[in-house]
Structure formats: C-alpha cells, structure tokens
A = this chain, B = another copy of it.
Amino acid sequence: MKENTGKTKYVLLGMLAHSPQTGYALKKSIEYEYSHFWQESYGQIYPTLKVLVREGLAVDDSESGNGRGQITYSITEAGTAVLKNWLSEAPDVEKLRYEILLKISFGANTEPEVILRHLDDFIVRNDNLAKDMDGFVQMLEYLSAQGDDHTYSQLTALCGKYTYTAMRDWAREAKRIITEREIEKNETTNS
C-alpha cells in the first residue's frame, strides 16, 4: 500500500483550495498556468485524487457534476491544514536538466555552426516565452486592479519573464563570444 505521491498531492491541494475542480480541469489548468515551472500527467493526477479522498484531504463532490460522468473534488479542512503545513516548509532545491547546456559544454566536439544553430533556436523560443509571460503579467495586473487579487500568480509569471529573458540574453552573449573567438582563431592560423 504505497501512498507516496511526491509533490503531486500538494499541487492538487493548492489548486482545490482555490476552487473545486475535476481531474481533467486540474490538468488543463496546470498546462495553462504552471507549465513554465511545473507539470503533471493524468497518470499522476487521477490516482492522487483518490489518495487525497482516502486520506480525508479532499472529498468527492459530484452532485455538482454536469451529467458527463465527471468527478468534482473539493478540499476539506484537514486538506487545508496539510496544505498550509507544507507551505511553511522550506522548498526543495530544484534539480535542473538543461540538455542544451550539456550540448554546449561538449561543443568542442563538433562544428561551431551546430552550436550556433541550437543557440538561435533557443533565443527564439525564450524570446517568445518571455513575451508570453509579460502578457500574462499584464493581464493579471489588470485583473488585480479590477478587484480580485492575483498577486501570487502574477509573481510566478514574473519569474518566468525574468528567467526566459535571462536565458535569451545569455544565448545572445554566448553567440557573440563563440563567433568572436572563431574569428580570432582563423586570424591566428592565417597569419
């Protein structure tokens, strides 16, 4: 009987604390709102929701279903307590895996053009994401001004903006450095 569901449990509790939702809706929200720093699959979400119910942290609140066989979950008081307790604990140090940085650190094993191409793609992607995040921040700013507070969501979007911008800027600088050193190298061999 394994009930160890990692962080998924808390993600769902945090979202249910905002409003009762179905597993399907939770997944969609995670994709839309949290994709730049978190992801969950159905294979995690559905079993974890059942665990939450079994542990009394959420309840199956299906009378509010729309007749489509869906299950709406709500957080319980016990769930809110568990959530709050988790919030107070120091967050884990994140373990990142940037494949592009691996490729760059091994860059000497291929032509500079290969690395420059990866950097170009990276710049485009991060520039777009930075803009998306900025739009998100603006939208939440507007909603907050209208009365309903979105400060905390706005802060996570702002973090996305900062990191994507930093990545884009780094990649531009990296391109510059590679190109510059290539020129130097060619000058030395040709003289």
Q: Residues of A with Cβ closer than 8 Å to B?
A: 7, 10-11, 14, 17, 33-34, 36-39, 80, 83-84, 86-88, 90-110, 114-115, 118, 121, 125, 149, 151-156, 158-159, 162-163, 165-167, 169-170, 173-174, 177-178, 181
Q: CB distance A91 to B103 under 8 Å?
A: yes
Bound complex: CA A121 to CA B92 (Å): 11
Copies of this protein in the complex: 2
- Can you name 23 A-B pairs with beta carbons within 8 Å? A7-B97, A7-B99, A37-B97, A38-B97, A83-B109, A87-B106, A87-B109, A87-B114, A88-B114, A91-B100, A92-B99, A95-B97, A104-B152, A104-B159, A105-B153, A105-B155, A107-B152, A108-B152, A155-B178, A158-B170, A163-B163, A163-B170, A165-B166
Which partner residue on chain B sits nearest A87 by CB separation? B110
Select from chain B the residue with minimum beta-carbon distance to A110: B87
Q: Do residues A37 and B102 form an inter-chain contact, with CB atoms below 8 A?
A: yes
Beyond the given A38-B102, A87-B106, could you list 6 further A-B residue pairs with CB under 8 A, ordered by the A residue number?
A14-B109, A37-B98, A84-B110, A91-B100, A151-B177, A163-B166
CA of A167 to CA of B163 in the docked complex: distance in angstroms?
7
Residues of chain B within 8 A (CB-CB) of A159 are 98, 101, 104, 167, 170, 174
